[in-house]
Structures are given as C-alpha cells and as structure tokens.
C-alpha cells in the first residue's frame, strides 16, 4: 500500500479513537495523560514506522492500528 495513504488512514483511525466517547475508562486508568495526547504520541511513532517501511505489508490503517494495539513491539521506541 502507498505509505502516504496508509499514514492518512492511520491518522483517521487515531483521531476517531481519541474522540470516541467510550474512552471513559481511559481517565480511570491513567492520570498523567489525556486520550488526545496519548494517541498523538502513538500516531507519531506509527508514522515513523510507516515511513521506514515497517508496515509495508499491511492493507489498511485499521490493520496497523490493531497490530500496534495488540503488540507495541511493532514500534522501535
């Protein structure tokens, strides 16, 4: 998949997650970071990985977001 397209899809996925009202539990489990800041940091790390080709075999931004959610080892940071 085109990396720019993948980045755009990932941005949309993380924006949706950050805005999701069901993230109520986020405030109950963390005290130092807002959902927006958390997903922004995660997005930046994922974009770096996309740029280096880590996710070249993926077909959509949703696949990337799910893979990272299930295993942070995808991120080199």
- Please give the chain's pLDDT, 77 residues, in tens: 799 999 999 999 999 888 875 555 555 555 667 778 888 999 999 999 999 999 999 999 999 999 999 999 999 86
pLDDT of residue 22: 53
pLDDT of residue 71: 96
pLDDT of residue 36: 80
Distances (CA, A) of 76 to 26, 31, 71, 73: 24, 25, 12, 7
Tell me how far apart the alpha carbons of residues 1 and 61 are, in angstroms, rounded to a whole number.
Answer: 10
Helices (H) and strands (E) in the chain, counts: 4, 0
pLDDT of residue 24: 58
Question: Would you say the C-alpha torsion 62, 48, 77, 19 has a positive or negative sign?
Answer: negative
pLDDT of residue 26: 57
**Cβ atoms of 59 and 1 closer than 8 Å:** yes
Domain positions in the chain are 3-74
In eight-state DSSP terms, residue 52 is T
């Amino acid at each position: 998949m085109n990396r720019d397209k993948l980045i755009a899809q990932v941005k949309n996925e993380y924006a949706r997650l950050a805005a999701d009202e069901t993230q109520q539990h986020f405030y109950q489990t963390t005290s130092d970071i807002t959902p927006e800041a958390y997903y922004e940091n995660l997005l930046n790390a994922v974009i770096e990985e996309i740029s280096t080709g880590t996710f070249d075999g993926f077909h959509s931004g949703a696949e990337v977001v799910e893979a990272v959610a299930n295993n942070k080892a995808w991120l080199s940071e």
